[in-house]
Copies of this chain bind each other. A is one copy, B any other.
Amino acid sequence: MPSSPIRKLAPLAREAKKQGVKVYHLNIGQPDLPTPPKALEALKHVDRTTLEYSPSEGYASLREKLTGYYKRYGIDITPDEIIVTCGGSEAILLGLLTCLDPGDEIIMVEPGYANYISFAKTARITVKTVTARIEDGFALPPVDAFEKAITPRTKAILLCNPSNPTGYVYTAEELQQIKEIVVKHDLFLFSDEVYREFVYNGKPYLSAMSLGIPEHVVMIDSVSKRYSECGIRIGMLVTHNKEVHDTVMKFCQARLSPPLLGQIVAEASIEGTQDYAKACFDEYKARRDFFIKGLNEIPGVYSPMPEGAFYTVASLPVADAEDFCRWLLTDFRLDGETVMMAPAAGFYSTPGLGKNQVRMAYVLKIEDLAKALKVLRAALEAYNK
């Protein structure tokens, strides 16, 4: 089991804070925006006397409301096709355990969400990666690369759209390419769509559920990011594939039920929160515009313009971004402040890739992002002296 590349530097950050240093956290996707007030309010009205097990598949009322939410995105499903999980994390793990045998292979795009690798390891699945390049703005790797990665043991492709860590949003043409590969080789397509809400290119979001290959698609979802409620651990696994659904349910029955209180909060978050969602969207979009522009103004720094989520992977004018990130925490301070970032190498499987890159999340207020940029600029100057 590998250590989390995001959490590896955490002890150094704690140490810096102990010394009184202010640390700007660009390293983790913990949104600072508030949870919808009506969702918090729902907690005050829990009028149960016993906090009992919920159904293994999650409350019907929550799944019912989710179908309404998905309809807004052109995703047509029934409550019976939704399984509520303990965060998107559990949905991924159970999906992998269900669809792949040990030794089977799954193809992922690198740089990718590092914990996918952990879940694949847990399920004893082999991960093959195809590389998205910063020069291409982290677009989908060419079909050739997928074809080359496919072996008789390949059972699935996993796509995160919009992508964590790059913020890339796959185009309709790219998804069409993926669909063709999936059908040609009879694969499962795991589609992690937890950042669906945050697409800044003005185009309607295209879900893998809308590709017309219902038996192939397992959609991973979560309320964590869209309602700023990561802590409640409510995710979903959604599929039209009945056999997959029924097998995932066996795993779900073994673990009894998803978190009850989280379901209450999630259910209260879905309806009547359009204004909230709009405000969050506008805020993230403004931050993105500000932050990416600021990054690219620092000499030697390059970040593509991410069209979704709230991350970017940028290249820095340093040979070893991990050393630089470490040094930021241990040695560098500008007026008592420093910046924490996630070295991007941890998001690649191929050794040596991404060594000069970092992943950053713009989940801070614009004035803090401005200060973080100032610190980063000064730090790069000092480090390279």
Spell out A's residues near B (CB within 8 Å): 1-4, 7, 28, 30-35, 39-40, 43-44, 46, 48-54, 56, 86-87, 89-90, 93, 97, 102, 115, 118-119, 122, 124, 228-233, 247, 250-251, 253-262, 265
Bound: A30/B257 CA distance, A: 12
A9 to chain B, nearest CB (A): 13
| A253 contacts B31, C-beta separation under 8 Å | no
- Report the Cα distance A87→B51, complex, angstroms: 13
- The answer, among B34, B53, B93, B97, for a CB contact under 8 Å with A50, is B34
Q: Are B231 and A51 in contact (CB under 8 A)?
A: yes
Measured CA separation A215–B10 after assembly (Å): 27
15 contacts between A and B (CB under 8 A): A2-B250, A4-B253, A35-B48, A35-B51, A51-B231, A51-B232, A87-B255, A87-B256, A89-B256, A115-B255, A118-B251, A232-B259, A233-B259, A233-B260, A261-B261
Residues of B within 8 A of A229 (CB): 50-51
Q: Quick one: given A122-B251, A256-B89, A262-B259, are A231 and B4 in contact (CB under 8 Å)?
A: no
How many chain copies does the complex carry? 2
How far, in whole Å, are A86 and B3 apart by their CA atoms in the complex?
A: 20
Q: Are A52 and B230 in contact (CB under 8 A)?
A: yes
Chain B residues positioned under 8 Å from A251 (CB to CB) = 1, 118, 122
Residue of B nearest to A35 (CB): B51
Q: Is the CB of A231 within 8 A of B254?
A: no
Contact status B4-A250, CB under 8 Å: yes
Q: Flag if A228 contacts B50 (CB, 8 Å).
A: yes
Chain B residues within an 8 Å CB radius of A52: 30-31, 228, 230-231
Candidates B43, B49, B102, B258; contact of A102 at CB < 8 Å: B102
The 10 A-B residue pairs with the shortest CB-CB distance in the complex, in nearest-first order: A231-B260, A118-B254, A261-B261, A4-B253, A1-B250, A259-B259, A89-B255, A51-B229, A34-B49, A51-B231
A1-B250, A43-B43 known, 9 other contacts, Cβ within 8 Å: A7-B253, A35-B50, A40-B48, A89-B255, A115-B254, A115-B256, A232-B259, A259-B262, A261-B261
